[in-house]
């Protein structure tokens, strides 16, 4: 399972990219709206892509098919590598179908059920983003839904890539991998939590302290004059 970061914050993206774990980035209008409004959105997205390379999902904000298609063409004119993120609506599916005919990759977002995922796949989506956390938030089981979709994909031999999205904690990441998602897109906080373990920190402290003690002992040994 590949890892993407779900963020539009350059510091977070730069830090996670420096760990060498990222294969891409997903953004959305909410994430972009959290950042400095004086920075041009195109420039921010291009900079994000320069930092990570690989996949970059850029979301449209039109709600009609023609508007989505116009936006998609505009986005690929300044970022040809962009994957166009399209909401799971009737108008969105029509746009996905058209973009797939034009060879422009799409990521159908806001997918909450296996039925929606099947429709997105039939429209020609390249990726489907299944939102785990938001399902959990309303008392549903996000991991179960993702696992159902992965099982259907296996059974049907579908190649559309499944992105586990809306992750809230490291166990979402683990369960997404267990279910068979191709990709997990996680906020910086979840990546950071996944990196750390108290036993790793304690273990490292002990290794360093022991090595220090060994060096001191060796230094003391060297100071002892040889008795012949
Ligand atoms: C996916 O691509 C979305 O950007 C994202 O995962 C939304 O997650 P949220 O529920 O934390 O807003």
pLDDT at site 47: 97
pLDDT at site 222: 83
Q: Where are the beta strands (DSSP E) in 93-206?
A: 106-111, 127-131, 161-165, 183-186
Which atom of ligand 1 sits closest to the CA of residue 27?
4
Taking CA atoms only, the protein residue closest to ligand 1 atom 6 is 166
pLDDT band per the 50, 70, 90 thresholds, residue 44 = very high
Q: What is the mean pLDDT of residues 127-151?
A: 98
Q: What is the dihedral of CA 184, 187, 188, 192, to 10 degrees?
A: -60
CA 137/CA 192 separation, integer angstroms: 22
pTM of the model: 0.94
Q: What is the mean pLDDT of residues 42-61?
A: 97
Taking CA atoms only, the protein residue closest to ligand 1 atom 5 is 166
Q: Is residue 152 pLDDT above 80, yes or no?
A: yes
Q: What is the mean pLDDT of residues 19-48?
A: 96
Q: What is the mean pLDDT of residues 129-156?
A: 98
Which atom of ligand 1 sits closest to the CA of residue 30?
12
| Token code pair at residue 77 | 């004119």
* Positive/negative CA dihedral, 45, 48, 49, 55: negative
pLDDT at site 228: 58
CA 85/CA 72 separation, integer angstroms: 9
Q: What is the pLDDT of residues 56-94, one digit of tens each?
A: 999 999 999 999 999 999 999 999 999 999 999 999 999
User: How far does residue 214's CA lie from ligand 1's centre (Å)?
Assistant: 49
**Annotated catalytic residue, options 49, 55, 85, 172:** 85
Q: What is the mean pLDDT of residues 141-168?
A: 98
pLDDT at site 223: 75
The secondary element (H helix, E strand) that includes residue 149 is: helix 142-156
pLDDT at site 98: 98
pLDDT band per the 50, 70, 90 thresholds, residue 147 = very high
Q: What is the mean pLDDT of residues 37-43?
A: 94
The secondary element (H helix, E strand) that includes residue 69 is: helix 65-78
Q: What is the mean pLDDT of residues 90-104?
A: 98
User: How far does residue 16's CA lie from ligand 1's centre (Å)?
Assistant: 17
Tokens 């230094």 — which residue?
Answer: 219
CA dist 196 to 18, 70, 118, 193, 200, Å? 16, 43, 36, 5, 7
């Amino acid at each position: 399972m590949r890892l993407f970061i779900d963020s539009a914050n350059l510091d977070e993206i730069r830090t996670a990219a420096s760990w060498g774990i990222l294969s891409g980035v997903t953004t959305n209008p909410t994430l972009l709206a959290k950042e400095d409004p004086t920075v041009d959105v195109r420039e921010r997205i291009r900079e994000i892509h320069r930092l990570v390379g690989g996949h970059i999902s850029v979301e449209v904000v039109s709600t009609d098919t023609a508007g989505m298609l116009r936006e998609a063409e505009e986005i690929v004119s300044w970022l040809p590598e962009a994957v166009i993120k399209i909401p799971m609506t009737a108008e969105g599916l029509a746009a996905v179908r058209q973009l797939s005919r034009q060879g422009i990759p799409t990521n159908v977002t806001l997918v909450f059920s296996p039925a929606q995922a099947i429709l997105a796949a039939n429209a020609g989506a390249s990726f489907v983003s299944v939102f785990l956390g938001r399902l959990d938030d309303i008392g549903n089981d996000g991991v179960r839904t993702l696992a159902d979709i992965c099982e259907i994909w296996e059974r049907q031999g579908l190649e559309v890539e499944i992105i586990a999205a809306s992750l809230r904690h490291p166990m979402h990441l683990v369960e997404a991998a267990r279910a068979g998602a191709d990709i997990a897109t996680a906020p910086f906080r979840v990546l950071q939590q996944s990196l750390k373990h108290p036993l790793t920190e304690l273990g490292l402290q002990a290794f360093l302290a022991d090595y220090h003690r060994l060096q001191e002992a060796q230094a003391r040994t060297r100071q002892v004059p040889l008795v012949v």
